[in-house]
Amino acid sequence: MIDVCSDELLTLKAVAKMLPSGRAGKRVHFSTVFRWATNGVRGVKLETVKVGHTRYTTREALNDFAERLSCADAQPQAIPPGWRTPRQRALALRRAEEALDRAGIK
């Protein structure tokens, strides 16, 4: 947990600037770091704290994020809860249409 009073807080822009270049030698963009904090990557989110309208994180939180993401990469990928494969979606749609037909609705 980030302690606002004792941890060295870094803005997400500062984090983007301090990270090494990624794919094709391009720097990590601020919006990428923001996405890590809000949506996460493969179920792993960057821990942040919001003070006013600005999000902050710490070096420790960034290291923890990288470690957890590395561990997540080592495990088989599962479909996030609530997501359906196209096949599951088609089956659910077919079942719903059949239920509507049985009820005389359509």
Distance CA 34, CA 41 (A): 11
Give the pLDDT score at 60.
Answer: 95
Write down the domain spans for the chain: 10-77
40 backbone φψ class: left, alpha, beta (φ>0; ψ -120 to 50): left
**What's the N-to-C CA distance of the chain in angstroms?**
53
Q: Which of these, 42, 54, 31, lies nearest to 83 by C-alpha position?
A: 42
Q: Which parts of the chain sit beneath pLDDT 70?
A: 72-81, 106
Q: What is the pLDDT of residues 78-98, one digit of tens each?
A: 666 677 788 989 999 999 999
Give the pLDDT score at 74.
Answer: 67
The whole-angstrom distance between residue 80's C-alpha and the CA centroid of its chain comes to 11
Give the pLDDT score at 85.
Answer: 82
pTM of the model: 0.65
